[in-house]
Amino acid sequence: MGIRWEGIMEAIQKEQTKTMSSPSKRREMDLMKLMMSDYKVEMINDGMQEFYVHFHGPNESPYHGGVWKVRVELPDAYPYKSPSIGFVNKIYHPNVDEMSGSVCLDVINQTWSPMFDLVNVFEVFLPQLLLYPNPSDPLNGEAAALMMRDRPNYDQRVKEYCEKYAKPKDIGVATEEKSSDEELSEDEYDSSDEQVAGKADP
């Protein structure tokens, strides 16, 4: 793919100087690192090999404002074999199959290295894929053709898909969650005011 992978890979490999341990230890370590990087992770079963990650579209792209549930499956040989990545809710992109959600991404499918980890997938590889689609290697031929023929119309279609399929409700997140958190913090704020006022009274 024509994304700037060489420079990205070199930077990641320089950064990743940690020693390789057993695949199961490495799986646990990478999953914990992903969770500590503020990604919402939902485990699919008791093991650590299948899970969903909530992924937000990158800024300065037509995907900004969209949120996707991405299914991740780690093979037994991870990190020596690449994870399997797929979008659960629909996304309009030349390199993502619209029906299955599978991703065409060289760095995951062919040039994966044990130096990479799950945080790289969500902070570097997927954002790069959305920022720099490659219409010459499509899984969605219609999206690729539209992108090459009429970029403004393609961007509009991406935004329509974001509105229709990539909102918090589309990945099972209740939209009330944020407002109830805000209400809770307002209640806490009010009660702390009352306590302060109570202390001031004789």
The 8-class DSSP code of residue 26 comes to H
Which is catalytic among the residues 104, 105, 139, 143?
104
Whether 162 is catalytic: no
**What SS3 class is residue 19?**
coil
3-state SS class at 166: coil
| Separation of alpha carbons 89 and 95, rounded Å | 15
Q: What are phi and psi of 41, to 5 degrees?
A: -120, 130
DSSP state of 170: G
- The string of DSSP letters for 32-98 reads HHHHHTT--EEESSSSSSEEEEEEEPPTTSTTTT-EEEEEEE--TTTTTSPPEEEESS----TTB-T
Residue with tokens 């009274």: 201
Q: Which residues are catalytic?
A: 104
